């Protein structure tokens, strides 16, 4: 998958609704639900890059391996990839 960047909250949520994460570590049938459960209800920026054979976009395998979602000063990073356990981390920017 080619790297992608989005800055429209509605487009970000629609994109996340089409991502499924399987495998070890963080999993989600619908990444939008996972992101909202983490408190990101109106994300302002998303970037996705890399490749993960256990990540699916619209049912197709080999979606992005690293997702960075920003909402104001909070950033959620979900990272994984071939042979890696998927992890998530939330940080606050100054």
Domain edges within the chain: 4-92
pLDDT of amino acid 1: 77
Q: Is the pLDDT of residue 82 over 90?
A: no
Alpha carbons 53 and 73: distance in angstroms, whole number: 31
Whether the per-residue pLDDT at 8 is higher than 80: the answer is yes
User: What pLDDT sits at residue 17?
Assistant: 97
Mean pLDDT of 71-88: 92
Q: What is the mean pLDDT of residues 61-73?
A: 95
84 versus 15: the higher-pLDDT residue is 15
Non-local (6+) Cβ contacts of 36 within 8 A are: none
Over residues 58-70, mean pLDDT = 96
């Amino acid at each position: 998958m080619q790297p992608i960047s989005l800055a429209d909250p509605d487009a970000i949520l629609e994109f996340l609704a089409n991502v499924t994460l399987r495998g070890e570590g963080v999993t989600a049938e619908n990444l939008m639900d996972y992101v909202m459960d983490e408190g990101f209800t109106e994300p302002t920026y998303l970037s996705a890059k890399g490749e993960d054979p256990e990540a699916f976009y619209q049912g197709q395998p080999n979606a992005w391996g690293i997702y960075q979602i920003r909402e104001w000063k909070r950033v959620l990073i979900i990272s994984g990839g071939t042979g890696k356990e998927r992890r998530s981390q939330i940080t606050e920017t100054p």
